[in-house]
């Protein structure tokens, strides 16, 4: 399984490094520049609102389905037809609750109009993720990897044409960006549907009440976990926009730094998407998950620490590379937010392992406490420090919840504490900090290049990444 993980991770990283950072930092950031910080801030707040409640579209079915199909591939045809019926009901529920929430929060009619398109987009995205869960659960990792970037490839083409041809030299309407997303997501959903139908042997929507109840009951713990984690991951922008007199501006400032964090976070998420079906199958077959867990965490930690150190030391220069306005305010928020990447990557390994094991009770308690902590910190910090306060609220919450998940997983699976690995990580982090301090006064391009090559050298020198171990893992027979 280590070999399967490494080969498919390599494909995922190549595809996503070529596509997603360019979309987020090139296309999405250019949209903010052309549309204006306040207009984009209002859009970002509405987008976060649509994210907060999109668990109602899924109710944990996607994660449940990935785990279930990975362990029982023969159930794909039966479950696919039944679950599609459940999801159609959930679409109506999600739309009603989202619009009711927008009304309670006092959004204006024109904002609700934009929210309606964002709701449609969330429906399409959730559909793509569900369809991909069937593909990943069936161990079709290469196909799933290609689907993971299809929507962004389409968006780069569509929005690129809108930015530099259709609306060249004139203000860019944020609505055009939203409708381009609709077209890209709909196309991706159609492609994924065709692939799944070939595996499932066709589609016949069924309305079996007993089956729906069983699926919803078994997926509810997954739904609760995702809902709670989404709240402490996405409430910051909404609270900034609603709590402050210049809320739209502050949300836009926060979005500048958050965009860079999100670009890297998408790469971290690849680990979770790849590991969930692998962990699920290994646990079902009673295989030892410790080697794969250790390998995945060492790889993701090496990258996350390098990104966090580079981002925090060169925050202002990085913001100035992409934006012309408000960089003095967004740089401090970004310098804090980028450290969330290390915490979130820890969650992507240990939280995914616990999800695969079905140990959701402890995870839900952890997520509930994290949500309450995040809301409380935001209520205290946002009025005092605006976007920077929201960034600190995120870092504290993400750091503590990551530590809890690592502790729970270590106890559940009786992992021995790898002291050599701990000392390697500390030595690696110390080396990175020294290198960043030494190169702090250099031009940002040169400094980041030195840090990138230095991080690779340090990772191997400290044996945080064991080159011999990687070679042995790749040489293992397929599936081990």
Per-residue pLDDT of the chain (480 residues; tens, 9 = 90+): 566 776 777 777 777 777 877 887 788 888 988 988 888 888 988 998 888 778 788 777 777 777 777 776 666 666 676 677 788 888 999 999 999 999 998 888 888 999 999 999 999 999 998 888 888 777 777 888 889 889 999 999 999 999 999 998 888 999 999 999 999 999 999 999 998 888 777 666 666 666 667 777 777 777 777 777 777 677 888 889 889 988 888 988 898 888 888 878 877 777 887 788 788 888 888 888 888 888 889 999 999 999 999 999 999 988 888 787 888 889 999 999 999 999 999 998 998 899 888 777 888 898 899 999 999 999 999 999 999 999 999 999 999 999 999 999 999 998 888 888 889 999 999 999 999 999 888 888 899 999 999 999 999 999 898 877 666 665 555 544
pLDDT of residue 306: 94
Tokens at 213, concatenated = 């109840």
- Decide if 437 is inside a domain: no
For residues 53 and 115, the answer to whether their CB atoms sit within 8 Å is no
Q: What's the structural domain count of the chain?
A: 1
For residues 61 and 87, the answer to whether their CB atoms sit within 8 Å is yes
- Decide if 452 is inside a domain: no
- Decide if 314 is inside a domain: yes
- Decide if 38 is inside a domain: yes
- Decide if 354 is inside a domain: yes
The string over 229-246, giving b where at least 16 C-beta atoms fall within 10 Å of a residue's C-beta and e elsewhere, is bbbbbbbbbbbbbeebee
Task: Looking at 413-461, list the stretches that DSSP marks H as alpha helix, in order from N- to C-terminal side.
Answer: 419-438, 444-461
Angle at 449 between CA 443 and CA 452, to 5 degrees: 135
pLDDT of residue 230: 74
pLDDT of residue 72: 67
pLDDT of residue 480: 47
Enclosing domain of residue 239: 2-416
- Decide if 476 is inside a domain: no
- Decide if 478 is inside a domain: no
pLDDT of residue 19: 83
Tokens at 410, concatenated = 């270590």
- Decide if 284 is inside a domain: yes
Closest CA to 6 of 322, 433, 378, 470: 470
């Amino acid at each position: 399984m280590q070999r399967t993980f490494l080969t498919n991770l390599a494909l995922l990283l190549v595809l996503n490094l070529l596509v997603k950072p360019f979309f987020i930092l090139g296309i999405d950031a250019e949209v903010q520049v052309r549309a204006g910080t306040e207009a984009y801030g209002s859009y970002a707040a509405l987008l976060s609102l649509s994210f907060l409640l999109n668990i109602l579209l899924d109710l944990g079915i996607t994660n449940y389905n990935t785990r279930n199909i990975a362990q029982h591939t023969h159930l794909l045809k039966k479950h696919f037809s039944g679950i599609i019926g459940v999801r159609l009901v959930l679409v109506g529920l999600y739309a009603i609750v989202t619009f009711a929430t927008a009304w309670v929060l006092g959004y204006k009619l024109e904002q609700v109009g934009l929210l309606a398109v964002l709701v449609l987009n969330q429906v399409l995205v959730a559909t793509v993720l569900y369809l991909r869960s069937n593909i990943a659960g069936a161990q079709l990792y290469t196909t799933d990897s290609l689907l993971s970037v299809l929507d962004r490839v389409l968006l780069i083409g569509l929005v690129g044409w809108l930015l530099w041809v259709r609306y060249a030299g004139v203000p860019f309407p944020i609505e055009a960006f939203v409708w381009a997303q609709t077209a890209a997501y709909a196309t991706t959903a159609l492609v994924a549907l065709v692939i799944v139908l070939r595996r499932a042997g066709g589609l016949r929507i069924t309305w079996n009440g007993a089956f729906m109840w069983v699926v919803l009951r078994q997926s509810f713990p997954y739904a609760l976990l995702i809902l709670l984690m989404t709240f402490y991951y996405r409430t910051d922008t909404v609270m900034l926009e609603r709590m402050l007199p210049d809320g739209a501006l502050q949300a836009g400032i926060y979005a500048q730094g958050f965009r860079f964090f999100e670009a890297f976070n998408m790469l971290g998420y690849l680990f979770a998407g790849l590991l969930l079906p692998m962990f699920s199958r290994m646990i079902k077959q009673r295989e030892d998950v410790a080697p794969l867990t250790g390998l995945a965490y060492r790889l993701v930690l090496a990258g996350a620490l390098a990104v966090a150190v580079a981002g925090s030391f060169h925050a202002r220069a990085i913001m100035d590379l992409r934006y012309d306005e408000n960089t003095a305010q967004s740089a401090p928020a970004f310098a804090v937010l980028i450290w969330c990447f290390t915490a979130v990557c820890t969650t992507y390994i240990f939280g995914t392992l616990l999800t695969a094991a079905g140990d959701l009770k402890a995870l839900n308690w952890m997520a509930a406490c994290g949500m309450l902590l995040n809301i409380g910190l935001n209520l205290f910090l946002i009025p005092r420090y605006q976007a920077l306060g929201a960034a600190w609220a995120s870092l504290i919450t993400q750091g503590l919840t990551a530590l809890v998940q690592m502790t729970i997983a270590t106890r559940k699976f009786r992992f021995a504490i790898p002291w050599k690995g701990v000392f390697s990580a500390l030595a690696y982090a110390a080396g990175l900090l020294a290198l960043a301090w030494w190169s702090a006064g250099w031009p940002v391009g040169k400094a980041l290049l030195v840090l990138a090559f230095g991080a690779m050298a340090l990772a191997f020198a400290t044996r945080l990444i064991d080159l011999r171990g990687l070679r042995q893992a790749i040489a293992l027979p397929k599936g081990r």
